[in-house]
């Protein structure tokens, strides 16, 4: 009966170990931001437009939100504003122009700053979340 206790103790100890997150749980879509543009208005506000490219070629991506930020301020545009889902097919591009985004473009006033941070949150074809970050330069 003694050999059972050490085996039981080892089984309980191993069973309590923290689970690992396999790399397969990461998004299969690879989204890049290309040609970012900051469009200024007389008020000092800027709208931000760019092209999203899926470069992995394995999975498409449905955009969940576009988040621009500067120290002390964030602007989010998400699926609650868009008329229809924004999707990037595997290996293709989606241009997010003023015509596409309209009033749903993330807007900030980056007074005195040289750039704005952009985060694009998305879900791949298998339902896994992903995100990409870039910096959009502010030209004066």
- Summarize pLDDT for 97-111 with one digit per residue, the tens: 998 998 999 999 999
Q: Please check the confidence at residue 116 and state whether its pLDDT lies above 50.
A: yes
Q: What is the pTM of this model?
A: 0.79
Write down the pLDDT at residue 15: 37
Write down the pLDDT at residue 39: 93
Kindly report the CATH number assigned to the domain that includes residue 45. 2.60.40
Residue 37 is assigned to a structural domain of this protein: yes
- The answer to whether 103 and 25 have CB atoms below 8 angstroms apart is no
Residue 39 is assigned to a structural domain of this protein: yes
Q: Please check the confidence at residue 48 and state whether its pLDDT lies above 80.
A: yes
Domain ranges, residue 92: 24-137
Q: Please check the confidence at residue 130 and state whether its pLDDT lies above 90.
A: yes
d(CA 55, CA 72): 32
Distances (CA, A) of 65 to 6, 13, 93, 101, 104: 52, 42, 17, 12, 10
Report how many domains make up the chain.
1
Residue 101 is assigned to a structural domain of this protein: yes
């Amino acid at each position: 009966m003694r050999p059972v206790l050490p085996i039981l103790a080892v089984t309980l100890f191993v069973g309590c170990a923290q689970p690992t997150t396999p790399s397969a749980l990461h998004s299969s879509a690879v989204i890049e931001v290309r040609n970012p543009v900051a469009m200024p208005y007389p008020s000092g506000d800027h709208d931000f437009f760019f092209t999203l490219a899926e470069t992995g070629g394995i999975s498409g991506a449905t955009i969940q939100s576009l988040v621009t930020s500067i120290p002390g301020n964030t602007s989010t545009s998400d699926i609650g504003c868009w008329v229809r889902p924004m999707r990037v097919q595997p290996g293709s591009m989606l241009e997010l122009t003023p015509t596409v985004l309209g009033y749903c473009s993330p807007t900030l006033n980056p007074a005195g700053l040289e750039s704005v941070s952009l985060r694009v949150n998305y879900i791949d074809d298998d339902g896994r979340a992903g995100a990409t970050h870039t910096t959009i330069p502010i030209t004066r």
